[in-house]
């Protein structure tokens, strides 16, 4: 049996892509997208009719040019999500504009709009996860959304403080970024490499996973942002892992044995005291890696969001009558 099949027997495998063909090939349980993946998807031939429809739909809603572009981006995200849900049996994660990462009320409004767009296409709420950056403001928005029945995927998660606050908020799922943690340590320490067991990104996910299980938190841990299959194998048994198509292919071609690496700790029955805002901000910022990578991640998503908007504006202008 190949390693991808073995992994599926102990972990929910999610495709980290907006590429319909890759999703059809690897038949994951769920799929997840982000602004960077949407930008790539929007350049693929099969999505061009969808993009034209979204531009026309947004224009018909009226409003300013910037309002139409914002609507168009969300429409495209929901439409691509809808197409993916015709293939995967589980859920799609769709991301809120990263520029809203420090505004709870704006995040709430955008998340509700995305869910309304999905509802208009007949998609049930339980099949969608709204992706929100794991800032304090984002976590507070997710706490409110979860009470409304809107399930959330808290992304760009690098610190234990973020993980604790997400569990306190009762979010459905978190995405700790394994590869980006490794990147930081390779760039900012004397280390030239790590074994999977020593990998700081792997160790971060293992710590969060065991803490959640020990204290009885229901939040799903979905490791993300992998650089190699060694990281994935070192987290076999994690609740869920979101994996890029190239690494899914490597696992599918490897017929070696894949032992379980994570087994949940016994629930101690001891509750964990909630993490307040002051402690959250201090602990997160006291972790230089987490502080730097969260900010960098938000900035990179914003760059791709703006690039997608510019692409859509140019296409809309081409379609205008002379």
Q: Name 75's Cβ contacts closer than 8 Å, sequence gap at least 6.
A: 54, 57, 58, 117
Domains of the chain as residue ranges with CATH = 3-319 (3.20.20.70)
Q: Identify the band that residue 320 occupies on the pLDDT scale cut at 50, 70 and 90.
A: low
Residue-wise pLDDT tens digits, 268-310? 778 889 999 999 999 999 999 999 999 999 999 999 999 999 9
Residue-wise pLDDT tens digits, 121-138? 999 999 999 999 999 999
Tokens of 185: 């340590």
Rg from Cα positions in the chain: 20
Closest C-alpha to 159, from 292, 36, 300: 292
Handedness of CA 314, 319, 321, 322 (dihedral sign): positive
The model's pTM: 0.94
Q: Dihedral, CA atoms, 250, 252, 254, 260, nearest 10 degrees?
A: 100
Would you please indicate which residues are annotated as catalytic (active-site) residues? Answer: 131
Q: Name 236's Cβ contacts closer than 8 Å, sequence gap at least 6.
A: 6, 7, 10, 11, 258, 259, 260, 261, 262
């Amino acid at each position: 049996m190949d390693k991808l099949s073995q992994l599926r027997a102990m972990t929910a495998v999610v495709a980290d892509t907006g590429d319909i063909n890759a999703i059809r090939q690897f038949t994951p349980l769920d799929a997840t997208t982000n602004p960077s993946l949407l930008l790539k998807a929007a350049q693929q031939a099969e999505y061009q009719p969808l993009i034209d429809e979204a531009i026309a739909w947004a224009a018909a809603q009226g409003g300013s040019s910037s309002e139409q572009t914002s609507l168009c981006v969300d429409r495209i995200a929901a439409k691509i999500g809808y197409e993916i849900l015709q293939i995967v049996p589980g859920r799609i994660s769709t991301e809120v504009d990263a520029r809203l990462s420090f505004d709870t009320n704006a995040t709430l409004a955008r998340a509700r709009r995305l869910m309304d767009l999905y509802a208009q296409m007949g998609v049930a709420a339980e099949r969608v996860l709204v992706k929100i950056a794991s800032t304090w403001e984002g976590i507070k928005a997710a706490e409110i959304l979860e009470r409304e029945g809107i399930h959330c995927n808290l992304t760009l998660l690098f610190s234990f403080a973020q993980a604790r606050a997400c569990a306190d908020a009762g979010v459905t799922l978190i995405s700790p970024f394994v590869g980006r943690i490794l990147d930081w340590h390779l760039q900012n320490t004397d280390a030239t490499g790590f074994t999977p067991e020593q990998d700081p990104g792997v160790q971060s996910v293992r710590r969060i996973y065991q803490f959640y299980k020990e204290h009885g938190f229901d939040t799903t841990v979905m490791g993300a942002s992998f650089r190699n299959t060694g990281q994935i194998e070192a987290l076999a048994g994690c609740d869920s892992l979101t994996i890029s198509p190239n690494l899914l292919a490597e696992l599918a071609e490897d017929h070696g044995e894949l032992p379980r690496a994570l087994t949940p700790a016994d629930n101690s029955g001891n509750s964990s005291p909630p993490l307040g805002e002051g402690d959250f901000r201090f602990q997160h910022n006291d972790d230089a890696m987490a502080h730097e990578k969260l900010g960098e991640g938000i900035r990179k998503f914003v760059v791709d969001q703006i690039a997608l908007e510019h692409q859509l504006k140019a296409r809309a202008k081409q379609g205008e009558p002379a």
